[in-house]
Amino acid sequence: MNAAYTLGVDFGTNSVRAVVVDCRDGRTVGTRVFNYPSGHQGVLLDPRDPHLARQNPADYLEGLRASVTGALEEAARDKAFSAGRVIGIGVDTTGSTPIPVDVNNRALALDPKWSAVLAAQAWLWKDHTAAEEAAAITAAAAAHAPEYLAPIGGTYSSEWFWSKIWHCLKTAPEVFDAAYSWVELADYIPAVLAGVVHLGDLRRSVCAAGHKALYSDTWGGLPSKAFLARLDPKLAALRDRLFDEAYAADRPAGRLCAEWAAALGLRSGIAIAMGGFDAHYGAVGAGVRTGTLVKIIGTSTCDCAVAPVSGGIQNVPGICGIVNGSIMPGYYGIEAGQSAVGDLLKWWVERVCEGDDALHEALTARASRLRPGESGLMALDWNNGNRTVLVDPRLTGLIVGQTLHTSRADVYRALIEATAFGARAIIERLTACGVPVDRVVCCGGIAEKNPLFMQIYADVIGHPMIIAGSPQTPALGAAASAAVAAGEAAGGHASFAGAQAAMVRDGAQQFVPDAGARRVYDELYGIYRELHDTFGGVAGSTAELGTVMKRLLAIRERVMALQA
């Protein structure tokens, strides 16, 4: 078979990365990173509001062009490669990152009239301005549509689609009124490539819709107009200008339009895969399949698993999102996570020890010399709340066991261990609810760079920690998706399983559990669960201590309000 290639384009928080991948073996033949030029490292900030994080949509388009042409340029050094052999493009992005658009799917911010208005830009995933709206949506759903909350674990987030749009309506009504509709970045880029100029032609991915916009077949798509009208009549009206159906990646989002084909130097008409979130395509690129858990470990951790739709799936309490087709067609996509992992160590090093990267290295070296149990410490990994399995963003941290000899390295290791115990709690919940986990593949910055972390995870969890073969699993997954969208006849693949078999491989490095360490960690994990269940307020444990963290927060908030 002749060589065929696909492009994977990964829109991150600070930059966009394009890779050119050989469909036969997953080999990367070209890559290019483009840093967003606007704002601070690509993020538009508001000095008056630390919760605000927006992005300039023009950066996305410039980045798309620059990264793809750059990657193709590099690929061209390979004699076997030619741009004519590229058969498809896949796109993954951050999310929920909704963009206000006009009736022609043009981002509002590209219009000079709106280009300087923050509310008219893309609302980046980590924008937290809509906390009040999120709480109001959660309350309204709890009262009137509890079914909406079940698949998202009980709490609608300020990071998500409806919270942000409602916040725009309340704080920048002129932008809300000027926008014909709103499109997730993951859907926007494929539509741009496909030349979609009528919103009715835009195919939305179930990935963004199901995980962030309360979309489900169970209740016929997006939330009902009646429910949205409880929030604001204008949101109910907007529903008519959004979408009725969202799609898995079993069909293309469209075909490359002539204009972008020319701009990128590619054949027009090649397949554009459905867009997806970076974590989901990252799971594909790391080899997710039934029985395989993919852990993307960075500042936070995102856990992705799949379960065949044909097998059905029981409810998994405390798992944030279970969406049909969200990771791969034919499977329920299951997403879990831990709110602070790298961030927990970053907190310790930067905020408490007031150190830098060099201190991270020094503490890692010192912590590596400690054996399991030696610090005498036990921590809960909740400084940023607990996403899975307690689904409670208002939980806080705890450390117990300090003596006058306890060192900063002791605590550093205890915090790593705490995240490992939290990871084990998630796996135990999955397997208890019929989602088997017999293989764990790790990717992300920490997985690649921190052997101490990975060895502790292996020892605590009791499975080998397999490091993903690619350091760019989201872009590789997007490229695999493009190979499926292009199809076997074009030199791609007939299915995700086929694409993964050919294009995805495990890394050479594995971290294997040590029997002695496992025994100690099994015992320590028992203590972790006692603290976890007590302070997490799990039914059956001491009711009083289960509210300690909330009561401390309530006192703090009252004190702060008195000052304000």
Which residues of the chain form contacts with a second copy (CB under 8 A)? Answer: 340, 343-344, 346-347, 351-354, 371-378, 383-384, 396-408, 411, 520, 523-524, 527, 530-531, 534-535, 541-542, 544-545, 548-549, 551-553, 555-556, 558-560, 563
Query: 553, 534, 552, 532: which is closest to 543 by C-alpha?
Result: 534
- In whole angstroms, what is the distance from residue 496 CA to residue 328 CA? 7
- In whole angstroms, what is the distance from residue 305 CA to residue 292 CA? 6
- Shortest separation between residue 55's beta carbon and a second copy, angstroms: 23
The DSSP letter of residue 111 is S
Judged by beta carbon, residue 371 or residue 449, the one nearer a second copy is 371
Q: How many CB atoms lie within 10 A of CB 440?
A: 21
- Shortest separation between residue 556's beta carbon and a second copy, angstroms: 4
Give the residue carrying structure tokens 């690129």.
Answer: 285
Query: 153, 486, 427, 206: which is closest to 332 by C-alpha?
Result: 206
Judged by beta carbon, residue 359 or residue 497, the one nearer a second copy is 359
- In whole angstroms, what is the distance from residue 59 CA to residue 42 CA? 8
Judged by beta carbon, residue 103 or residue 543, the one nearer a second copy is 543
Query: 141, 277, 305: which is closest to 204 by C-alpha?
Result: 277
Which long-range CB contacts under 8 A does 232-240 form with residues at least 24 apart? Answer: 232/166, 232/169, 232/170, 234/169, 234/176, 235/162, 235/165, 235/166, 235/169, 238/165, 238/181, 238/182
- Shortest separation between residue 33's beta carbon and a second copy, angstroms: 28
- Shortest separation between residue 367's beta carbon and a second copy, angstroms: 14
- Shortest separation between residue 519's beta carbon and a second copy, angstroms: 10
- Shortest separation between residue 392's beta carbon and a second copy, angstroms: 13
Tally of residues, the chain:
564
Judged by beta carbon, residue 376 or residue 445, the one nearer a second copy is 376
Judged by beta carbon, residue 314 or residue 542, the one nearer a second copy is 542
- Shortest separation between residue 349's beta carbon and a second copy, angstroms: 12
Q: Return the structure tokens found at 308.
A: 């065949």
Q: How many CB atoms lie within 10 A of CB 70?
A: 17
Give the residue carrying structure tokens 């939305």.
Answer: 204
- In whole angstroms, what is the distance from residue 394 CA to residue 548 CA? 11
Judged by beta carbon, residue 131 or residue 548, the one nearer a second copy is 548
- In whole angstroms, what is the distance from residue 67 CA to residue 32 CA? 5
Largest CA distance in the chain: 72
Phi, psi (deg, nearest 5) at residue 91: -130, 130
Sorted by sequence, the CB contacts under 8 Å of residue 62 that are 6+ apart come out as: 34, 37
Sorted by sequence, the CB contacts under 8 Å of residue 489 that are 6+ apart come out as: none
Judged by beta carbon, residue 244 or residue 544, the one nearer a second copy is 544
Judged by beta carbon, residue 25 or residue 49, the one nearer a second copy is 49
Judged by beta carbon, residue 393 or residue 507, the one nearer a second copy is 393
- Shortest separation between residue 31's beta carbon and a second copy, angstroms: 33
Phi, psi (deg, nearest 5) at residue 372: -55, 135
- Shortest separation between residue 176's beta carbon and a second copy, angstroms: 32
Judged by beta carbon, residue 106 or residue 366, the one nearer a second copy is 366
- Shortest separation between residue 46's beta carbon and a second copy, angstroms: 19
